[in-house]
Chains A and B, each alone.
Chain A
Amino acid sequence: MTAARWLVRRLLLTVVVMLGAATVAFAGLQLTPGDPARVILGSTTPSPEQVEQVRHELAFDRPVPVQYGLFIGRLAKGDLGRSYQLREPVGALIGDQAWSSALLALTGFATALTAATVLAVATAGRRPALRRLSMGLELIAISTPGFWVGALLLTFFAFRWHLFPVAGGSGPEALVLPSATLALGLVGVYAQVMREGMERALDEPFVLTARARGGGETSVRLRHALRHALIPLITISGWSVGALLSGAVVVETIFSRQGIGRVMAAAIASRDLPVVTGVILLSALAFSLINMAVDGLYRIVDPRLRESAL
């Protein structure tokens, strides 16, 4: 199989995944209890005429298979529809928020990856005191809930010292605290995975060879051992970046940031099917693309996989 055929096959699979995701979204909202028309109309009791109007406009008065057909038909035409609640086209609504989510996810991820690499290279299999301290701190970072870290960072860096905006800033300074909060939650996981992979690699005979050739310890680690530690890390990063791209609700809320996560949370609570579907499709797409990228990366990092995959 050539690389091109592999890519085509993966893209077709992506379409299937997205169709499945849309179907699950539709089924999920069908199965939740209560009349969706009433939920859409809000918590004050609506008049019977209004309920009828909503049912009719949104085809809730048609049989479920017909509703499903209409739903998939619109999606096939690339029409995500209009939000029930916000009365805006879903594409525009999500587009406005996606950039903010992506920026936060990528900066948070990059920060965590850099910090984890430094920690792992510095402490894997050496400096026992530092290693123990680092592992302890990582464990604390993993177990501390993001909403508390975020509130703590805000209290000191924004409320007291005025170094960063409390909310609503648009420049890069508005990204620092939210990214740091996200990164703190990830750095522990990354560092532990990387350290373990690296320690396993350091026991391999090729490291002994590399050392025998007279390379410095850090360069042996960076050039030879790190590559081996990367495989599990790539797997885990693929998952976490996908999850971040589909929204970091807690961090977005605490820092009053725009983002997919908040849109999704509000849409689920108000049965806003078009928005829920839009976000789910976006997440499915993000996960599919990331998985493709991860598979590609495996081949670069570990040349043995190239042969086995062909």
Chain B
Amino acid sequence: MPDPRPRWSTRHRRRVGAWTAVPLLLGTAAACGGGSESAAAGGDLTFAASIEPDCLDPQMSGLDVTAVIVRGVFDSLVSMTSDGRFHPWLAQRWTVSKDAKTYTFDLRPGVKFHDGTPLDATAVKATLDHAVDPKTKSRYAASLLRSYAGARAVDADTVEVRLSQPDASFLQAISTAYLGVQSPKAIRENPAGLCVRPVGSGPFRFGSWTRNKNITLTANPGYGWGPATAAHTGPAHLSRLSIAFIPENAVRLGALTSGQADVIDDVPAMYVKNVRASGKLRLLRAEQTGAVFSVFPNTTHGPLTDERVRLALMRSIDLDRLVQSVYFGQYKRAWSLLSPSTVGYSRATERTWPHDPALSAKLLDAAGWTARDSEGYRTKAGRRLTLRWPYLPKLMRDRRDVLAQGVQAQAKQAGIHIDLVGEDGGALAKDILTGSTMDLYSTGFVRAEPDILRYFFAAAWPPAKGGGNFFHLNDPELDGWLRAATATTDPAARAGYYAKIQDRILRRGLAIPTYVPARLVGTGAHIKGLGFDANGYPLFYDARATRKGES
């Protein structure tokens, strides 16, 4: 999913974090009593999330917390494992036509939505059509279906999906919760209510949603069509899953240490040691897939149009040390734009562009930035080497603001002046659309599919067309490989293209990957069976809450 997990007061929260660090240590050391004593046979589980969904219609919302929550409510046609393979779920089997443009899914019979409607071919078609309908105002799902040309119910249990062009990322797209199958009756009869009362076929039924507080889900006792990748079959072990929204990092951790939450999302890297040291809590981690948090230089306007300056910036930053100190050793520095857990990741990129201040200086000299001004910044023809880097504060979660300041400080040593500017959504959208008013832009993108690189670099996908090619890069060679990589479904051929693509991105300095984000989930020791899906999102279907003390 698109990286954003908005939170509205990053700066303020960071201050809270710092101020409460000491009391929190005390709290953690002394805590860990209590817990959900009511944990019955199946068990109840309270999961504290850091942000709240905007809407529970997976085809509308683009937040990853939405995917985490509604994963239990909606089933998908197929399920993906982290090795990039697909397994039966609602579709028992499927075939792909020779031209790779028609997918035929053979649906499992007897599946029922929570409202009693049968899940058949028309339901699948209704969901896909709902996702691409402009009226849905989809924040993300529609972009997963760019190549979708239409679906047809061949018979009740067979659905045929046509694509406008071959698209190797299609199966990954439909495996996500964002394209989970919704009840066609709900889509038809209550379109305004899809956000607040989702109706799916999954192991959990939607219970209630109290805004700014919690969402409750209850087990679907008739569930018998789990994915082939799950550890068990039949209904979920948990009888009730409640999701509490606790935006403050320190408070969320306090909820876990004091036993008032069984599982918490987004354990801040700086508190990981506390969780480990407690002895009674466990930390689960899953590296995020997709594009890591990266800085994209403007290749069409300003000083970074010169490849030497881009490479000089890349080499001037000591990411090993920076990532280590900003994230307390919890996250790895990134070498490629693709995260290591993504299919198609190229190991050959590793250690190819280490910190090299001497090389950086040489490149800047060669590019003509030879003079220095009174503050030590490099200049050319009397103009300082200044790079404007606007950002949306609420997206600089997870200490990315601190990381950006670190990059700024290191670039300064090389004589490059980075101007970090916090902006509101409107101003930033304008910067992104014009593309000439900023020199650097930073973002990441979670998706278990290397095709995400096309979003960032395809010449046909500038921001105005709904893409992420922020600076209108037009590199025909890269474009050709990106198209070829998605036109074939042969894993080896795809891997070959993506290796070349990742190499070229670094060689030309088209992106500066920074760190590999990981999802850090804290749980009480009494929680078993909690796992992650291929996207690195926690899964609750196999989870169970044993009584305190039992294990």
CB contact under 8 A between A167 and B137, given known A35-B426, A97-B211, A259-B212: no
Interface string of B393-411 (1 = CB under 8 A from A): 0110000000000000000
Interface string of B470-497 (1 = CB under 8 A from A): 0000000000000000000000000000
Interface string of B231-272 (1 = CB under 8 A from A): 000000000000011111011001101111100000000000
What distance in Å separates the Cβ of B54 from its nearest Cβ neighbour in chain A? 5
Question: Contact: A45 with B20, CB < 8 Å?
Answer: no
Question: Contact: B139 with A41, CB < 8 Å?
Answer: yes
Question: Contact: A270 with B425, CB < 8 Å?
Answer: yes
Question: Contact: A159 with B426, CB < 8 Å?
Answer: no
Question: Contact: B62 with A42, CB < 8 Å?
Answer: yes
Among A57, A162, A252, residue most surrounded by chain B Cβ atoms (within 10 Å): A162
Contact partners of A158 in chain B: CB under 8 A: 254, 258, 260
Query: With the chains together, A260 CA to B260 CA distance in Å?
Result: 25
Contact partners of A38 in chain B: CB under 8 A: 425-426, 429, 433
- Asked if B427 is at the interface of the complex by the 8 Å CB criterion, the answer is yes
Contact partners of B463 in chain A: CB under 8 A: 45
Stretch with Cβ within 8 A of A (4 or more), from B30-38, B281-289, B295-303:
B30-38
Query: With the chains together, A262 CA to B465 CA distance in Å?
Result: 33
Contact partners of A48 in chain B: CB under 8 A: 464-466
Stretch with Cβ within 8 A of B (4 or more), from A149-157, A189-197, A218-226:
A149-157
Question: Contact: B8 with A256, CB < 8 Å?
Answer: no
- CB-nearest residue of chain A relative to B55? A87
CB contact under 8 A between A265 and B213, given known A39-B425, A43-B2: no
- Asked if A160 is at the interface of the complex by the 8 Å CB criterion, the answer is yes
CB contact under 8 A between A45 and B426, given known A147-B15, A166-B254: no
Query: With the chains together, A78 CA to B55 CA distance in Å?
Result: 25
Query: With the chains together, A52 CA to B135 CA distance in Å?
Result: 10
What distance in Å separates the Cβ of B452 from its nearest Cβ neighbour in chain A? 12
Which of B30, B143, B248, B432 interacts with A254 by CB under 8 Å? B248
Contact partners of A68 in chain B: CB under 8 A: none
What distance in Å separates the Cβ of B316 from its nearest Cβ neighbour in chain A? 28
Query: With the chains together, A34 CA to B144 CA distance in Å?
Result: 26
Query: With the chains together, A272 CA to B144 CA distance in Å?
Result: 26
- Asked if A6 is at the interface of the complex by the 8 Å CB criterion, the answer is no
Question: Contact: B424 with A34, CB < 8 Å?
Answer: yes
Question: Contact: A155 with B20, CB < 8 Å?
Answer: yes
- Asked if A23 is at the interface of the complex by the 8 Å CB criterion, the answer is no
Report how many residues on chain B are interfacial, defined by Cβ distance under 8 Å.
72
- CB-nearest residue of chain A relative to B260? A166
Question: Contact: A34 with B212, CB < 8 Å?
Answer: no
- Asked if B42 is at the interface of the complex by the 8 Å CB criterion, the answer is no
- Asked if B196 is at the interface of the complex by the 8 Å CB criterion, the answer is yes
Residues of A8-23 at the interface with B, using a CB-CB cut-off of 8 Å, are none
Query: With the chains together, A97 CA to B210 CA distance in Å?
Result: 9
Report how many residues on chain A are interfacial, defined by Cβ distance under 8 Å.
61
- Asked if B430 is at the interface of the complex by the 8 Å CB criterion, the answer is yes
- CB-nearest residue of chain A relative to B16? A147
- Asked if B27 is at the interface of the complex by the 8 Å CB criterion, the answer is yes
- Asked if B421 is at the interface of the complex by the 8 Å CB criterion, the answer is no
Question: Contact: B23 with A151, CB < 8 Å?
Answer: yes
For the residues of A in contact with B, the DSSP-based class is: helix
- Asked if A301 is at the interface of the complex by the 8 Å CB criterion, the answer is no
- Asked if B468 is at the interface of the complex by the 8 Å CB criterion, the answer is yes
CB contact under 8 A between A50 and B134, given known A34-B426, A167-B246, A256-B244: yes
Question: Contact: B213 with A256, CB < 8 Å?
Answer: yes
- CB-nearest residue of chain A relative to B259? A162
Query: With the chains together, A155 CA to B31 CA distance in Å?
Result: 10
- Asked if B98 is at the interface of the complex by the 8 Å CB criterion, the answer is no
- Asked if B195 is at the interface of the complex by the 8 Å CB criterion, the answer is yes
Which of B34, B192, B211, B465 interacts with A162 by CB under 8 Å? B34
Query: With the chains together, A105 CA to B414 CA distance in Å?
Result: 53
- CB-nearest residue of chain A relative to B244? A168
Which residues on A are within 8 Å of B, measured CB to CB? Answer: 32-36, 38-50, 52-54, 57, 82, 85-88, 93, 96-97, 147-148, 151-152, 154-156, 158-160, 162, 165-168, 250, 252-259, 262-263, 265-266, 269-271
9 extra interface residue pairs, beta carbon distance < 8 Å, beyond A167-B48, A168-B214: A38-B425, A42-B139, A43-B4, A45-B466, A52-B134, A85-B54, A87-B55, A151-B20, A151-B248
Sampled A-B contacts (30; CB under 8 Å): A34-B426, A38-B426, A42-B2, A43-B392, A43-B395, A44-B4, A45-B464, A46-B466, A47-B465, A48-B466, A49-B134, A53-B134, A147-B16, A151-B23, A152-B20, A155-B20, A155-B24, A156-B23, A159-B27, A159-B258, A162-B34, A162-B259, A166-B258, A167-B48, A167-B251, A168-B214, A256-B212, A256-B248, A262-B212, A269-B6
Which residues on B are within 8 Å of A, measured CB to CB? Answer: 2, 4, 6, 8-9, 12, 15-16, 19-20, 23-24, 26-28, 30-31, 33-34, 48, 54-55, 60, 62, 134-135, 137-140, 142-143, 192, 195-196, 210-214, 244-248, 250-251, 254-255, 257-261, 392, 394-395, 424-430, 432-433, 463-468
